[in-house]
Amino acid sequence: MSKVVGIDLGTTNSCIVVMEGGTPQVIPNQEGARTTPSIVAFTSKGERLVGQIAKRQALTNPQNTVYSVKRLIGRRFSSPEVQNAQKVLPYQIVEAANGDAHLQIDDKVYSPPELAAIVLQKLKAAAEDYLGEPVEEAIITVPAYFNDSQRQATKDAGTIAGLNVQRILNEPTAASLAYGMTEGATGKVAIYDLGGGTFDVSILELNAGIYQVLASGGDTYLGGEDFDQLIINWLVEEFQTENEIDLTGDRMALQRLKEAAEKAKCELSTQAQAEIVLPFISANQSGPKHLNTVLTRTKFEQMIEPLLERTRKPCEDALKDAGLAAADLDDIIPVGGQTRTPKVLETIQNIFRKEPNRSVNPDEVVSIGAAIQTGIMQGDVTDLVLLDVTPHTLGIETKDGTFTSLIDRNANIPTKKGRVFTTVTDNQNKVEVHVLQGEGTMAHENTSLGRFMLTDVAPAPKGVPQIEVIFEIDVNGIVQVTALDQATGRQQNITVRAASGLTQTEVDKARTESDQQLQIEEGLKERDRIVGQLQGLTQSTRKTFELLSAKLTEEERSSATQALTKADQAKEGSLHELQAALSILETTAEALGQAMLRG
């Protein structure tokens, strides 16, 4: 059986882990790092760069460097989150035909799942290098508060990357698995997960190997990126006050500010102040302008306090839904890189009235938990059982635009529930089922997941037909809805992905294109490798030939000259021509070596 990997597809960084001998092992990427920046860049030469190499060139190529794509995945273009993102992200966000947010890079439009898939492909390749075998199965984590569209889009990203996604796992739940397995802990635990772009909280009960999620909450547009943006805004204001120059229209300057903001934020986790120096950030008629300022931890904490207060209500709601008070909790586990910030840890302590347990690595714990779940599913880990919940209420639109719930938030999954509805007009022969997700009392206050039509309803006075609507949520949190006319037995069902997201045809097409692109890139890498070998061998062979020329026969001189000429000509040729020239030159180099021994 091939290995199944656990992947934390993060807003800022991603991580991949595999179970080996019953122990989770973090797989280093091709550069040797344990986490990979979730960044994809497209160069003027048509190359795709992923991870640290993409991050390094962002300064000179901001409009074609994509980061924070997780904050856009599964979202509508018209959503407030996307409209806000447009104001601060350097790349272009466009509206797709189905109303989703897509990204335009040069003359090509990408869906967020396609770009997330490129990051997943890099992780997949790293795992294949590490394991020495193909990797085709994975569990991918998502924020607990992701809705159905965002979960399905994440699953699509895995499919496009060439992975069979066995499970979509909630990030706090994954973190609890890692915490419980490594710490051997029991009791009631809160997972406070503040990452680069999202915030989650989950309340769990750990008892005799059973991990039961009692409640979840969160904010899918709150994280470290927002902390960075506050610093950027402050720097822009400071610079404009001092120099009367607005940097917001300068993409390269904004990218420099972003890098400086992230660096300062990290420094302030261990220092009282951070010095920010950016020479030649701009210029006016009087000459070049430099940014040189100091951000104190006190000022930074004042900036981020409103953001941290936004985490309080989801935590309090989760406790309430779990039927617990803060005093009932045995442990608080901070997860996500942003929880290294002292003010975040202070906020956690204020909310839960208990000092957080910092024993787990906040960058790796989620992916480690995902790998443990692969062990559970494969039977390698036999003493753990996971019981998760759905984070949102699910229901349909009924008369007068009312939202009628069928499955309440924090219901255990998988689950299946039904309810009988009827018609509102006489002889009504079809019924539209509008599927919604959210906590509002009216349909328009919630997220639309899809619509479908049940046709050929038997004619009858209003109120007589019995239409049963059944909601089913699988372990991935993905929804299927069935409508059944009890009089005729006619039914209609959908796996909810109609309102937004990629169609199956689009996913298949994106996967094919992705595979083709990978083949092209592998061909280019192989070509570069052979060119390098050929150049090195040409140089050494030419030196040897010049030293031995007088001792060679006419035939040997002619053969060597032809081989060197062919090698020079092949450098601009096809891969096949390069391989042929290298083979001939290797034979020539061997012959020259024998001639040298001849004396």
Unique residue bearing structure tokens 């635009």: 401
Q: Which of 333, 68, 39 is nearest to 193 (CA)?
A: 333
- Strand ranges of the sheet holding 467-473, from the earlier edge strand across to the other edge: 415-421, 467-473, 479-485, 491-495
Cα 596 to Cα 448, 541, 552, 564, 591, distances in angstroms: 79, 12, 9, 18, 9
Ramachandran area for residue 106 (φ above 0: left; ψ -120 to 50: alpha; else beta) = left
Task: Choose the catalytic residue: 100, 114, 193, 226.
Answer: 193
Annotated active-site residue 8? The verdict is yes
Q: Which parts of 123-194 are beta strand (E)?
A: 137-142, 164-170, 187-194
Rounded Cα distance, 257 and 254, in Å: 5
Are 85 and 71 in contact by the 8 Å Cβ rule? The answer is yes
Own/partner long-range contacts of 507-510 (Cβ < 8 Å, ≥24 apart): 507/113, 507/156, 507/159, 507/160, 510/111, 510/113, 510/114, 510/117, 510/156, 510/160
Annotated active-site residue 426? The verdict is no
Provide the terminal-to-terminal Cα distance of the chain, rounded to the nearest Å. Answer: 58
Rounded Cα distance, 515 and 384, in Å: 36
Are 282 and 245 in contact by the 8 Å Cβ rule? The answer is yes
Annotated active-site residue 399? The verdict is no
Task: Choose the catalytic residue: 55, 70, 258, 265.
Answer: 70
Which letter does DSSP use for residue 27 in this model? P
Annotated active-site residue 430? The verdict is no
Q: What is the dihedral of CA 231, 235, 236, 242, to 10 degrees?
A: 160
Neighbouring-strand partners of residue 30: none
Rounded Cα distance, 547 and 531, in Å: 24
Task: Choose the catalytic residue: 100, 114, 148, 171.
Answer: 171
Phi, psi of 226, deg, nearest 5: -70, -35
Q: Which of 143, 146, 196 is nearest to 173 (CA)?
A: 143
Mention every residue, 6+ apart, whose C-beta is less than 8 A from residue 388: 169, 170, 173, 213, 412, 413, 475, 477
Rounded Cα distance, 329 and 326, in Å: 6
Unique residue bearing structure tokens 């409009």: 63
Task: Just list the catalytic residues.
Answer: 8, 70, 171, 193
